[in-house]
Amino acid sequence: MSALRPGSRGAAVSVRSVNYATSPLLASKTPPWRSRLLVALVGIGFTALFGRAAYVQVINTDFFQQQGEKRYVHTLQMPASRGRILDRNGALLATSVAAPSVWAIPKDFEADAAHKAELAKLLGMSLAELDKRLSDNPNFVWLRRQVEDETWTAVKALNLKGVHQVSEFKRRYPEGEAAAHVVGFTGVEQTGQEGIELAFQRELQGKDGSREVVKDRLGRVIEDKGQQVDPVNGRDIALSIDAKVQFFAYQRIRDAVAEHKAKAGSVVVIDVQTGEVLALANYPSYDPGDRGKLSGNQLRNRALTDTFEPGSTMKPFIAAQMLETGRVRVDTPVVTAAGSLVIGGSTIRDAHSHPVLTVAEVIQKSSNVGAARLAMQMPPREMWELYSNLGFGHKPQLKFPGAVTGRLRPWKSWKPIEQATMSYGYGLSASLLQIAQAYTAFARDGEVVPVSMFRQDAPPPGTRVFKPETAQQVRKMLQMAAGPGGTGPLAQTIGYSVGGKSGTAHKQEGRGYASNKYRSWFVGLAPIDKPRVIVAVMVDEPSNGKYFGGLVAAPVFSQVVQQTLRLKNVEPDLEVKPQIVTKAVPAEPESF
């Protein structure tokens, strides 16, 4: 439709009218369920949001608060200081000191190639190893733990972003190689791995404390939160070891191994009065504070873990039992014939033949035939009980890891030839510590006392094996064996009377014996009338032309005895006279 507006100049304006009812889009009716669905969905959404808000802020609020706190509240461990290990006089054998540990936040780490190479060099690693560590975790990585203060000072001077340090405890071992097999060592987490460190882990480690703090984004502590729990430091452990005796014994066995081109060696020193172990030294050894090149050969505590056939060191026990039972006297003759004895088709031989020897001379000359003839007068059970009472075949009651039992077969299975060979130390096995302990029967007037690695004022009750007069008689025999005409004159010590027994035995290889491999040892005591120390020495596979115990082990015994008695302030029992030193040799080598 159109209309002409009055007052116009003749121009007509056409106005177009729109009929909305004719639009196909607007003309269609929306179904009621669609609008209701839309309203329902909006309502459900608001209900879910309300429920989630109620769950987070009312129902499970503790959990979410804890999760929030984890982002900025941290519990710092306050490590306890590990207990010290001390010798009998309070000298430090192991202690803990503060040491810096270097760590990094890899995502914050920034360094040019030159600085990164210098960092790797300072931390003792290759550049590839450093890169690998930095790629392990973007938030935290250890670069090197328990470094020296000088190392951290040099690292800090590089001024590298993302590199930090924290103070930890590091173990120090002042006696180094000399006491390594006694003290042992710990891992980087201050957990005992060997020796006393392992045996007394619980007592030494203490109990860590804790402290809650608030940290910022960069890991800096900005405030304390909550109550602090103080750490409880570990307990100190005092040993029976005398650091000076230990060091001297280690030096002497080290030198003997080098001189005789031997495979290894060990020394055990026991205080007769208390049963305390004053020294337990082995070579090869290792530095417990630097174990980068540690091998199993260095790690073995041979004096406790290695067993071997004790050879002629067993002969004095046979003589003592024969004296104890009244079968013989010290001067009773023993027919040794031409230095050989056949038992069950096997022949026992002496290195040197003697038609007749007294019981004392059997020990002095170390006659295999004489020892076998004495032993064969005993029932097997009696001989087995003797060895068992002396501690053979039993694990030493020593609070120390690695102590072994040795081997002593039941007497019912013995053949006559086996009983005969066991009289001079073949057919059974023992550790050097077990042999040293057995000799307390002579030093303590017939009583075997338990040995201990810890200081004690008096020994615990022992086992009576011989009468006092029997032990005293055997001590005189041992003095003869270590003197002129015996197998161990090189054991003589200036100012002190000594007695002991040398031993040399072929080493077992498989089911037989190696013809050119030996173990050499010497076990004895001093002074003779009132023994104060027992010293046992073993040298494994000497290969420089000498292998008899009287030549290889006896000189070590002499040096260790003299130094130990002086350190213990034991008065000399022999007059010290000026002497012309000559090259002494055994009158006769001990028999095999």
Q: Coil, helix or strand for 423?
A: coil
Which residue type occupies 462?
A: G
Tell me the CB-side half-sphere exposure of residue 589, using CA atoms within 13 A. 15
591 within 8 A of 504, measured Cβ to Cβ: no
Cα–Cα dist 286/534, whole Å: 26
Cα–Cα dist 394/386, whole Å: 13
For residue 467, CA distances in Å to 321, 326, 538 come to 10, 12, 29
Task: List, in sequence order, every residue forming a beta bridge with 221; answer none if it has no partner.
Answer: 215
For residue 216, CA distances in Å to 70, 221, 275, 592 come to 12, 7, 59, 77
Catalytic residue among 101, 240, 312, 497: 312
561 within 8 A of 535, measured Cβ to Cβ: yes
488 within 8 A of 554, measured Cβ to Cβ: yes
Token digits for 514? Answer: 């190696």
Give residue for tokens 């006659």: 367
Helix axes 243-259, 554-567, angle to 10 degrees: 160
Cα–Cα dist 304/430, whole Å: 9
Cα–Cα dist 40/557, whole Å: 100
Which residue type occupies 388?
A: S
Residue 520 annotated in active site: no
Residues designated catalytic: 312
